[in-house]
């Protein structure tokens, strides 16, 4: 792709050249009209001068001497045009003086044919291959007639010469203008070049804002957008580094425990001891798998991780009931009943990101199963209103102190002796935010923790992705 300078210069030169062409054509037509009028006026003026000669109050003898002198001068001019013609166009101007049908006097360049038959005033007369512009003037109170003429090709030549001389400065100035435009555009784009050079020479690890001052208004907008992008990349890298560090820290202990169980299984002398070590190993693998799954889920829900997902309509009650059926074996192992309270006749249509409701229920009910005691009851309540839905999960665990409820939604934050990976509520918080919902942690009437989630109804608000 061509540079901005070349594109701007090319466009400017095209516009300027087109303007010069239009102005030149208009100037040519205007000059032609004005020169025609000027030379028509010159013909009339020459005719008036000759009229003044003929009308001079001189004796007839003196008038004859004057006409003979003019005749002699014109004869010499006819014999040696180069000697007496001071201008290249002089020989192409002609006049005739007539008295009735008698030719009194004519110029050396005048045609032999009589022009006195032309009508009074201006007219055009073709003689041979030449076209003449003729002005005829009748002298009052006499039979004399003055005829002044000029060749049309002379006028055309003059018009072309004048128009060409008018356009020559523009033609000569066009290369100079192109150079000045090239220089001025380069000067105007210098801040952009400096910005590009600074970006080109920048260390890839340097995500600090660009510092270029002063900047034109347009480049200020671009620099602001770049600085905002750099800040988002910097924050993303900070989150990424923190996530990797936290994940490595969280995985180090489970892997060490797995290694310990594997060594115990290898060194066990009795079958019972080996079987117990293998069972511990299998449980550790399950916990590590759950941790990795939650880490991947949380990474997927990061604001910069993916583009805006597609939302689909689904039945909230059906999604919750289906997920509870999958979790019921885990609850049965701990003899914990799962109680679902919902109005079957309500409208449960909601717009959700695929898999979001399943992940919400899995994490909330999974946490409730983990934190509730053996035979503790877990209650799931769904309510539908005109504005949206509420999902409430109550357990009979130890609960979370009020001063710690804001912290537990942050990843890897735990509370209580039976705390897990510290990712479940973080995942829930991200999913709720992506659906423009609300998350509240309260004390449950049964003595444990109550998690209340509010989700907008699908026909009132389209969920938006949280890019904070």
Q: What is the pLDDT of residue 79?
A: 57
Q: What is the pLDDT of residue 464?
A: 44
Q: Which is it for strands 93-99 and 144-151: parallel, antiparallel or unpaired? A: antiparallel
Q: Which residues of the chain have pLDDT under 70?
A: 1-3, 5, 58, 60, 63, 67, 70-71, 73-93, 108-109, 116, 163, 167, 212, 215, 218, 242-243, 245-254, 257, 287, 290-291, 293-309, 407-424, 458-468
Q: What is the pLDDT of residue 407?
A: 66
Per residue in 348-401, pLDDT tens?
988 888 878 887 888 888 888 888 889 889 999 999 888 889 999 999 888 888
Domains in the chain and their CATH numbers?
Answer: 4-167 (3.30.450), 217-300 (1.10.287.130), 312-456 (3.30.565.10)
Helix (H, G, I), strand (E, B) or coil at 356: helix
End-to-end CA distance of the chain: 36
Are 96 and 147 contacting, i.e. CB atoms less than 8 angstroms apart? yes
* Contact residues for 239 (Cβ-Cβ < 8 A; gap 6+): 302, 304
- Supply angle C-alpha 427, 238, 362, rounded to 5: 10
Tokens of 294: 């939650």
Question: Using a CB cutoff of 8 Å and minimum separation of 24, what contacts does 274-282 make?
Answer: none
Are 357 and 437 contacting, i.e. CB atoms less than 8 angstroms apart? no
Per residue in 1-47, pLDDT tens?
456 767 777 787 788 778 877 877 787 777 777 777 887 888 888 78
Q: What is the pLDDT of residue 290?
A: 65
Helix (H, G, I), strand (E, B) or coil at 434: helix
Distances (CA, A) of 68 to 12, 288, 324, 445: 65, 132, 134, 140
Q: What is the pLDDT of residue 461?
A: 43
How many Å apart are CA 445 and CA 395, to the nearest integer? 9
Q: What is the pLDDT of residue 379?
A: 92
Longest dimension (CA), the chain: 165
- Look up tokens 């380069």; give the residue: 186
Distances (CA, A) of 386 to 312, 315, 456: 20, 16, 9
* Contact residues for 44 (Cβ-Cβ < 8 A; gap 6+): 135, 137, 148
* Contact residues for 105 (Cβ-Cβ < 8 A; gap 6+): 67, 70, 71, 74, 96, 97
Q: What is the pLDDT of residue 69?
A: 74
- Tell me the DSSP string of 357-383: HHHHHHHHHHHHHHHSPTT--EEEEEE
Q: Return the H-helix or E-strand segment holding 127.
A: strand 121-127
Q: Which of 247, 189, 130 is CA-nearest to residue 5?
A: 189
The four Cα atoms 18, 24, 27, 29 give a dihedral, to 10 degrees, of -100
pTM comes to 0.44
How many Å apart are CA 37 and CA 223, to the nearest integer? 62
How many Å apart are CA 450 and CA 394, to the nearest integer? 5
How many Å apart are CA 366 and CA 327, to the nearest integer? 8
Count, residues in the chain: 468
- Tell me the DSSP string of 443-461: E-TTSSEEEEEEEE-TTT-
- Supply angle C-alpha 94, 96, 102, rounded to 5: 155
């Amino acid at each position: 792709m061509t540079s901005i300078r070349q594109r701007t210069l090319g466009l400017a030169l095209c516009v300027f050249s087109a303007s010069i062409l239009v102005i030149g054509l208009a100037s040519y037509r205007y000059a032609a009209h004005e020169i025609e009028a000027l030379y028509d006026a010159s013909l009339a003026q020459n005719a008036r001068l000759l009229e003044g000669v003929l009308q001079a109050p001189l004796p007839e003898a003196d008038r004859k001497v004057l006409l003979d002198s003019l005749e002699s001068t014109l004869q010499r001019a006819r014999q040696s045009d180069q000697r007496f013609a001071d201008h290249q166009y002089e020989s192409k101007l002609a006049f005739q003086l007539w008295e009735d049908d008698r030719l009194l006097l004519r110029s050396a360049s005048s045609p032999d044919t009589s022009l006195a038959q032309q009508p009074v005033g201006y007219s055009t007369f073709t003689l041979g291959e030449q076209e003449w512009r003729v002005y005829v003037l009748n002298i009052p109170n006499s039979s004399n007639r003055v005829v002044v003429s000029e060749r049309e090709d002379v006028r055309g030549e003059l018009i072309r010469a004048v128009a060409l001389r008018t356009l020559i400065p523009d033609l000569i100035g066009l290369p100079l203008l192109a150079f000045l435009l090239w220089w001025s555009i380069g000067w105007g784009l210098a801040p952009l070049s400096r910005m590009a050079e600074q970006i080109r020479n920048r260390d890839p690890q340097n995500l600090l804002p660009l510092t270029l001052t002063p900047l034109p208004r347009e480049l200020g907008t671009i620099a602001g957008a770049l600085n905002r992008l750099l800040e988002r990349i910097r924050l993303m890298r900070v989150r990424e580094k923190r996530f990797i560090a936290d994940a490595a820290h969280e995985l180090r202990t489970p892997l060490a425990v797995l290694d310990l169980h594997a060594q115990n299984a290898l060194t066990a002398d009795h079958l019972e001891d080996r079987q117990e070590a293998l069972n511990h190993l299998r449980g550790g693998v399950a916990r590590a798998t759950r941790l990795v799954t939650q880490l991947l889920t949380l990474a997927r829900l990061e604001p910069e991780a993916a583009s805006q997902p597609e939302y689909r309509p689904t039945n909230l009650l059906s999604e919750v009931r289906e997920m509870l059926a999958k979790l019921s074996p885990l609850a049965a192992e701990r003899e914990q009943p799962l109680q679902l309270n919902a109005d079957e006749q309500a409208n449960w249509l909601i717009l959700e990101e695929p898999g979001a409701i399943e992940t919400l229920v899995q994490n909330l009910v999974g946490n409730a199963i983990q934190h509730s005691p053996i035979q503790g009851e877990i209650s799931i309540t769904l309510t539908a209103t005109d504005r949206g839905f509420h999902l409430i999960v109550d357990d009979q665990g130890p609960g979370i102190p009020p001063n710690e409820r804001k912290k537990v939604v942050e990843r890897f934050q735990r509370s209580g002796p039976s705390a897990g990976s510290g990712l479940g509520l973080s995942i829930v918080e991200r999913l709720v935010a992506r659906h423009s919902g609300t998350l509240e942690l309260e004390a449950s009437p049964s003595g444990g923790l109550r998690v209340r989630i509010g989700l907008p109804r699908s026909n009132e608000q389209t969920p938006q992705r949280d890019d904070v």
